[in-house]
Amino acid sequence: MPHPNDPKLKSFIAVDPASDFPIQNLPYGVFSTAQSPALRVGVAIGDQVLDLALLESEGLLRTGAERCVFAKPSLNAFMALGPKVWSQTRARISELLRDDHPELRDNAALRKRALLPRRDAKLHLPIAVSGYTDFYSSKEHATNVGVMFRGKDNALQPNWLHIPIAYNGRASTVVVSGTEVRRPRGQLKPPTADAPSFGPCKRLDFELEMGVVVGGVSPMGEMLTEAQAEAMIFGFVLLNDWSARDIQQWEYVPLGPFQAKAFATSISPWVVTREALEPFRVQGPAQNPQPLPYLQQKGANNYDLHLDVSLRTSAMKAAANISRTNFKYMYWSSVQQLVHHASGGCAMNVGDLLGSGTISGPEKDQRGSLLEISWNSSEPLELPGGDKRTFLEDGDSLVMRGWCQGDGYRVGFGEVEGTIRAAG
């Protein structure tokens, strides 16, 4: 059987070469339809969704589990079956969709039931989020922020090159793409004010990130090796960790972000598997000084993954690109983040979500937040039609896209979108 990543594979379903969802991808999501409102698991193929719950009930897709795992409102039950089942299932789905395999291709009645236009599917949060942790792992981003607030000579804190910095966020406000984001309220204290006040955030920002979806467990008190951590990663999503910069500025000393990052984190509805991204693995930046032994890695654990951010104000007819960067720039890899997360004895669970941290590149047009793009408001972003932005305003819509480019195909994530609504 050909490997599901084989670039020569073709599906009997026509797929545009520019589509994010060729047969080499097969990302998982949770969907429903107006005719069938029950939430269930599907995969994206071209402009279609393949209903895995239906295939499972018909006996065409077997995972070895005692109970059905795809007639569920999340991917968690499937992820809990482990990497061997993930790989076997993806291979079987690929086989069913191949242009040279007749089982589904030639069964018109089943095809009509199992495949539906993606435009008719309502997409939901793909995982039940067990816990959410946000890292701070882009050297370019950390340097930019450090230069702004501490000067060039003290841009990086002394620990940054030795340890993947992170904070524990809120799983309860992780939402799927398309969910409107209400402007948060909080305590504000500008440098010129004598005392704090309470009110709507005035410096609302986005953070361009990737999210790691953890599909395995690690026992409390146990460490992970590089290989174990890699095997626990089910896949990745696009992630926008919305940020209230002015609330954070007042609250973050001494314990770090709290309300400034607790109000919303948006993720894309499709989870692209780690296996689908395998052809796009690359070495990350050289790490100097060398990390401590438990963080040293032998594998190429970064990905050549293109990222794009567009902004549309309420006065604009079309969105304008404001950033283009790449996931390959991350100083600390996703595997290192997971290894470090468990290193102190923290138990990891199926459905844990790890934010990569803001992804910025070395060039000015590769900055992954408005804080950097506007250089803390000193260089306002100019948009088509005359609008300017230093931070997000009510009515602004932010769209992030990501993809890996293959030879004649791309493995993409779709998009994660959110529109800002007034605090009310």
Backbone phi, psi, residue 182, to 5°: -80, 135
Domain of residue 368, CATH code: 3.90.850.10
| Domain boundary pick from 124, 153, 174 | 124
User: How many Å apart are CA 424 and CA 403, to the nearest integer?
Assistant: 36
- Does residue 293 share a domain with residue 266? yes
Q: Are residues 60 and 192 in the same domain?
A: no
Contact residues for 84 (Cβ-Cβ < 8 A; gap 6+): none
Residue 98 and residue 142 in one domain: no
Q: Quick check: is 197 in a domain?
A: yes
Same structural domain, 97 and 137: no
β strands within 16-108, DSSP E: 28-32, 40-45, 48-51
| Residues 145 and 167 placed together within one structural domain of the fold | yes
- Does the pTM of the predicted model rise above 0.85? yes
4 is a domain residue: no
Look at residue 16 and tell me if it is in a domain.
Answer: no
At 66 the pLDDT is 87
Same domain (yes/no): 109, 197: no
Question: Which pLDDT score, from 0 to 100, does residue 1 have?
Answer: 79
Q: Which of 101, 124, 147 is the last residue of a domain?
A: 124
Active-site residue identified among 3, 124, 141, 162: 141
Residue 368 and residue 341 in one domain: yes
Let me know if residue 2 belongs to a domain.
no
DSSP SS3 for 415: strand
Which pLDDT does position 225 carry in this prediction?
Answer: 98
> Within 10 Å of residue 32's Cβ, how many Cβ atoms?
16
Angle at 180 between CA 319 and CA 368, to 5 degrees: 50
Rounded distance, CA 356 to CA 339, Å?
14
Same domain, 378 and 325: yes
Could you tell me if 117 and 265 lie in one domain? no
Q: What is the CATH number of the domain that holds 44?
A: 2.30.30.230
Instruction: Give SS3 for 418.
Output: strand
Phi, psi of 120 (to 5 degrees): -90, -5
370: its two tokens: 């408005």
Which of 124, 144, 179 is the last residue before a domain boundary? Answer: 124
Residue 12 lies in a domain: no
Q: Cα(278)–Cα(220) distance, rounded to whole angstroms? A: 29
Domain membership flag for residue 21: no
Q: How far apart are CA 364 and CA 77, in angstroms?
A: 42
Strands 265-267 and 233-240: antiparallel
Q: Output the tens digit of pLDDT for each of the chain's 424 residues.
A: 799 999 999 999 999 999 999 999 999 999 999 999 999 999 999 999 999 999 999 999 999 998 999 999 999 999 999 999 999 999 999 999 999 999 999 999 999 999 999 999 999 999 999 999 999 999 999 999 999 999 999 999 999 999 999 999 999 999 999 999 999 999 999 989 999 999 999 999 999 999 999 999 999 999 999 999 999 999 999 999 999 999 999 999 999 999 999 999 999 999 999 999 999 999 999 999 999 999 999 999 999 999 999 999 999 999 999 999 999 999 999 999 999 999 999 999 999 999 999 999 999 999 999 999 999 999 999 999 899 999 999 999 999 999 999 999 999 999 999 999 999 8
DSSP line for 140-189: HHHHHHHHHHH-GGG-S-TTTTTS--EEE--GGGEEETT--EEPPEEEE-
Note whether 411 and 287 are same-domain residues: yes
How many domains does the chain contain in total? Answer: 2
**Is 141 marked active-site?**
yes
Distance (Å, whole) CA 195 – CA 265? 29
The residue range of the domain holding 173 is 132-421
Quick one: 36 and 95 in the same domain? yes
Let me know whether 383 and 291 are in one domain: yes
